[in-house]
Amino acid sequence: MYAENDVMGEIQFKGKSHVEKTSGVWVDGGYVGYLKELKGSKKVLLLPGEHVISVRQDGYQDFTERILVQPGQKELVRVAMEKAATGPLSDVTATVKIAVNPSRAAVFLDGLFVGHVGEFEGPGRGMLVAPGTHQIRIALPGYQTFETDINPLANQNVEIKTDLVMNGAPLAGPWSRRTQVPPHHHHLSFVRQPGLHSVEMQTEAGKSATF
């Protein structure tokens, strides 16, 4: 999709606000990145013919447009996101913070795109979720997808840390598991090389668990 060729056409994107510029872009059902980064070395080049462009943002209706790509031509897609009707957020929530490299990777909660890693890392940032079981998936073209399940309690803080592994990179050794169980404290970590994956949970009472 990205190898430049005289036969291929280029898709350019334009968004009017921060909402559009940070929205995720899919081409023919495959995630390609977030809107404002799809230029220069990350520009989208497609074979001639009809393609389906979808743009998604948490809390907004999906933007979908069919385009006809011509050989060697540029096609501009103007994206305008519209607010979606959403129900009230539960009064009882848990907070998920994500620290993943690269930080431009897309984040999916229970199969739905919710934003990018950079939006959920650092002081004062995080994703509010209802207590209970959730699946977190982090994806970026050129990298292996990372998935993990969390089951936070009410008012619990969860932090996910990992380095995505590039496609084709060898995985050194099997999963290793280390467990320590001091009184009233449970610590469980899983390590996979290359890349260290951990999930840490912190309750208001100060108890924590790391996966």
Q: What is the pLDDT of residues 149-167, one digit of tens each?
A: 999 999 999 999 999 999 8
Q: pTM above 0.85? A: no
**What are the C-alpha distances in Å from 52 to residues 1, 28, 67, 148?**
14, 5, 6, 29
160-204 pLDDT per residue, tens: 999 999 987 654 433 322 223 333 332 223 333 344 445 554 444
Residues 6+ apart with CB under 8 A from 141: 30, 31, 32, 33
- In percent, how much of the chain has pLDDT > 70? 75
CA distances from 55 to 8, 25, 79, 191 (A): 22, 5, 8, 34
% the chain with pLDDT above 90:
60
> Does the pLDDT of residue 81 top 70, yes or no?
yes
Is it the case that residue 69 has pLDDT exceeding 60?
A: yes
Q: pLDDT at residue 12 above 60?
A: yes
Hey, what amino acid is at 177?
R
Q: Residue 63 is encoded by which pair of tokens? A: 């933007």
